[in-house]
Amino acid sequence: MTGASSGIGAATARLLLERGWRVLAAARRLEAMEPLAALGAEVMALDVSDEQSRRQLADQVSAKVGALDALVNNAGYGDVGPVETLPLERARAMFDVNVFGLMGLTQQLLPAMRERGSGRIVNISSIAGRWVSPGAGWYGASKFALEALSDALRLELKAFGVRVVVVEPGVIATDFPHVASASMEQSFSCRTYSTMMRAVSKSWESVFRSASPPLEVARTIERALTAPNPQARYRSGHQSASVIASQLLPTRVWDTLVRMQMT
């Protein structure tokens, strides 16, 4: 389990421990995982964007358990701002964590699962991996990429007994608004997009007041891990049903609904 220091990752690690799983919990902040360690989790340091850190974690996992029964790729974060003005280095940083880091760790841990002929990979995406709101284009792009790579992995690994599942949380009560707050504030200074970004911010504040608890997603992840024949995708949490609406409605109608709320 990556990204286990808070939010969905911490809630999932706790739930799995309660269910009797042996949990290897990884995150950048070891001290934040002390409560998990007290519950029996084996905590390990991981900066998923750093190749050496990924390699060190893979070596530790190999020494502890050999091949994993399941890998839950939860580490990720969001930065916000208009596509035109968000600096590319910040976009690359998101992709380094949400896409390249996640898949780099998967590449390290997958061979042992494939050679054994069993295992499960659960990638935590987002409803932003299915439809994108103004101001979150680069974050959404990273999640769209994760969805595509997960589809490819699911097809490629079927013959080797490794199942690949995507979980798409909706609006969840995590640190996401706090983490994104600095970039949101910065976007207000852009004369071209400040009005739009203030409307986006106001809409997000309203939506997050009804956010689902991380435990709701944790239960969905457990279902993705334990179902004998898992679905390719599971939605979970507040507004996750919006994915269905975005697929069924004509694009022009959907765009109008989104813009009415966020611009």
Query: What is the full per-residue pLDDT of the chain (263 aa) written as tens digits?
Result: 999 999 999 999 999 999 999 999 999 999 999 999 999 999 999 999 999 999 999 999 999 999 999 999 999 999 999 999 999 999 999 999 999 999 999 999 999 999 999 999 999 999 999 999 999 999 999 999 999 999 999 999 999 999 999 999 999 999 888 888 889 999 999 999 999 999 999 999 999 999 999 999 999 999 999 999 999 999 999 999 999 999 999 999 999 999 888 76
Joined together, the tokens standing for residue 81 give 């701002």
Question: Which pLDDT belongs to residue 263?
Answer: 65
Q: First and final CA of the chain: distance in angstroms?
A: 37
Which domains are present in the chain?
7-262 (3.40.50.720)
139 is catalytic: yes
Q: Which helix (H) or strand (E) holds 57?
A: helix 51-65
Cβ neighbours for 12, distance < 8 A, ≥ 6 positions apart: 1, 4, 72, 74, 214, 217, 218, 221, 222
> In which region does residue 101 sit, left (phi positive, over 0), alpha (psi from -120 to 50) or beta (all else)?
alpha
Q: Which residue type, as a one-letter code, is found at position 40? A: G
> How many CB atoms neighbour CB 64 within 10 A?
12
Q: State both tokens at 9.
A: 């990752």
**Alpha carbon of 96 to those of 20, 51, 88, 130: distances in Å?**
33, 10, 12, 20
**pLDDT for 179:** 85
Round to whole Å and give the CA distance between 140 and 131: 7
- Decide: 203 and 261 in contact? Cβ < 8 Å: yes
Catalytic residue among 77, 139, 193, 234: 139
Question: pTM, whole model, 2 decimals?
Answer: 0.94
Q: CB of 222 within 8 A of CB of 186?
A: no
The whole-angstrom separation of Cα 193 and Cα 28 is: 34
How many Cβ atoms sit within 10 Å of the Cβ of residue 213?
A: 15
